[in-house]
Structure 1
Amino acid sequence: MTPATLLAAGLATGLAAEEKSATVTDWGGRIGWLVGLALFVALVYWLMREGWKWRATLQGDLPELPARPSATTTLDRGGKPPLPGVPEDPGEARLAMTGRYHGSTTAGQWLDRIVAHGLGTRSRAELTLTDAGLDVVRPGARDFFVPAARLRGARLDKGIAGKVLAEGGLLVVTWAHGDKLIDSGFRSDRAAEHTEWVAVLNSMIEASTTEGAER
């Protein structure tokens, strides 16, 4: 081999050794970067959790949610009378649906999420509509019931706080609770059902309003 070839080979070997050395010495930097990233994610999570708790505190004046009719009898409620506006007999189901509950917001303000009383928790949901109202059963989360007298409207929409779907992909039910109007978003496992739910709910509300006006 010529001196030039030997020199080139020596340089190549030296460069390879330096690359290996750099790879080894880089581990400290990489570990530090990963630790920093983990701390940043933990900080973001903590801030989100604190924001959630702060929002729940601000909404502390929201009344407790009504229980379904089967849970409002005098016996079940420890001798207390049934809740106002919630009949003891829910009647036969008009509609039933399985799907997902995507959250609730102040009516007309789709980014103003409501988290008090578990309303901010997304979950699976089983909806049943009767003459008594709308029963929302949520496996793994808190159930709630909307008496028929408190239903204010239903529509198709595409989004609610933190969730955006295709146009008409969300069933939004507006209802009154305390002195607040609330929009709650649901998505059926069979989205074609949404249209029927909107029609039946609005028909119920219109009939109830007309009946109340005649009295």
Structure 2
Amino acid sequence: MTPLIHLAEAAEQKSAEVTDWAGRLGWVAGLLLFVVFVYWLMRQGWKWRGSLQSDLPALPEVPEAPGEARLTLRGRYHGSTTAGQWLDRIVAHGLGLRSRAELTLTDAGITVLRPGANDFHIPAAALREARLDKGIAGKVLTEGGLLVVTWEHGDKLLDSGFRSDRAAEHAAWVEAINTLSNATTTEGIAR
């Protein structure tokens, strides 16, 4: 046979008609129900975690006059965890929601403004330390790519992770926060 005959035969062949539409639609509907169910389970888990953390007090309000800004940072807020446990995400009071963030460091502490999420303030007396790290609650970056601030809220120590749009700013923030934290401690404010 010549190649032209094979082409002619191939052109005449057609795929089989789909006749079982009910079966296919049933599978698609079943798959969609499964996806919705998994999403519902994830949401219930998030709510359950929030109810377990209901003993956490409300976040400190942003002061009207926090003072002169030492440093500012624009970037992302990646979440908060229990201090030292980088996978134990805190979801109460919106602390588990990732968002854009604008941080301002003053003598009064750190003001965190988050569009679309709750703004909060970390008082200078609550600051414990700052460090560069590589991960927090589901976000892993290169070594030193994340600014982690440890602070006390209620009777719990929290780690909050931030990433600046300009990562070179992180070192200055670590130094300034640790200086402010040490100055606050030496002025007689108990930890």
What TM-score, normalized by structure 1, do the two folds share?
Answer: 0.79
CA deviation profile, 1:149-200 (whole Å, cap 9, x unmatched): 0001101111111111111111100000000000001110111111110111
More helix by share: 1
Residue identity matched to 2:79: G
Aligned to 2:143: 167
Q: Which stretches in structure 2 are left out of the alignment for 5+ residues?
A: 1-5
Identity over the aligned pairs, expressed in percent? 72
Distance 1:153 1:26 in 2: 64
Alignment pair present for 1:190 and 2:166: yes
Aligned to 2:44: 50
CA deviation profile, 1:50-108 (whole Å, cap 9, x unmatched): 001111111111111111221xxxxxxxxxxxxxxxxxx42210000110111000000
Alignment pair present for 1:20 and 2:16: yes
Aligned to 1:200: 176
Alignment pair present for 1:108 and 2:84: yes
Alignment pair present for 1:121 and 2:109: no
Distance 1:34 1:166 in 2: 40
Alignment pair present for 1:36 and 2:30: yes
Structure number with larger C-alpha Rg: 1
Aligned to 1:3: none
Equivalent of residue 69 in structure 1, options 50, 53, 63: 63
Equivalent of residue 180 in structure 1, options 131, 151, 156: 156
Distance 2:19 2:144 in 1: 56
Distance 2:183 2:97 in 1: 32
C-alpha RMSD over aligned residues: 2.2
CA deviation profile, 1:96-147 (whole Å, cap 9, x unmatched): 0110111000000111110111111111100000000000000010000000
Aligned to 2:119: 143
Aligned to 2:3: none
Aligned to 1:95: 71
What TM-score, normalized by structure 2, do the two folds share?
Answer: 0.88
Alpha-carbon offset, residue 211 of structure 1: 2.1
The total of aligned residue pairs comes to: 183
Alpha-carbon offset, residue 26 of structure 1: 5.3
